[in-house]
């Protein structure tokens, strides 16, 4: 339990603009997991969202207990039946998700989803920059 608290404290110390998480969205999570286990030696385990019915797995890149990111199976219903292709998504720390989203729109960005709460985790927003790049902003729950 103490280890989890210290890991969470490390997340809370991240500053605006730091990369904090990477997700892999796949249409075949088992095949994707087997690929990255073999190619890079990543270790996978069921993540926190797995108890919600979402197929979500956290991965570690160095065999250690701290996860580096997550893998999930894309559910077409989340996208109105028109899901995006498999992709990587980066999460960037911000001090205030809502204010950051407002600034992004003001500067020509587009909000794809959010800002929204991730229960027991934090707050996020999916944003597209004016040139088409997509990323997530994130703030750990205090």
Q: pLDDT by residue (tens digit) across 14-23?
A: 788 999 899 9
86, 12 Cβ separation under 8 angstroms: no
What tens digit of pLDDT does each residue of 78-122 get?
778 888 899 999 999 999 999 999 999 999 999 999 999 988 889
20, 26 Cβ separation under 8 angstroms: no
pLDDT recorded at residue 15:
84
Rounded CA separation 53/63 (Å): 26
SS3 content of the chain, % helix, strand, coil (to 5): 30, 35, 35
The pair of three-digit structure tokens given for residue 106, joined into one six-digit string: 């003001």
Within this chain, domains 1-88 and 94-142 share the same CATH topology: no
Whether CATH 3.30.1900 fits 1-88? yes
Q: What is the mean pLDDT of the chain?
A: 86
CATH tag for 94-142 (out of 1.10.600.10, 2.20.28.120, 3.10.180.10, 3.30.450.20): 3.10.180.10
């Amino acid at each position: 339990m103490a280890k989890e608290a210290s890991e969470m404290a490390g997340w809370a110390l991240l500053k605006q603009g730091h990369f904090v998480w990477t997700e892999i969205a796949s249409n075949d999570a088992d095949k994707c997991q087997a690929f990255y286990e073999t190619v890079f030696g990543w270790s996978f385990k069921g993540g926190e969202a797995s108890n919600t019915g979402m197929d979500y797995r956290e991965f570690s890149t160095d065999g250690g207990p701290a996860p580096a990111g997550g893998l999930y199976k894309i559910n077409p219903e989340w996208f109105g039946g028109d899901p995006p292709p498999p992709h990587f998504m980066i999460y960037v720390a911000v001090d205030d998700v809502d204010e950051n989203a407002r600034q992004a729109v003001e500067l020509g960005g587009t909000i794809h989803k959010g800002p929204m709460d991730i229960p027991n985790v934090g707050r996020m927003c999916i944003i597209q920059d004016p040139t088409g790049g997509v990323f997530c902003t994130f703030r750990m729950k205090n």
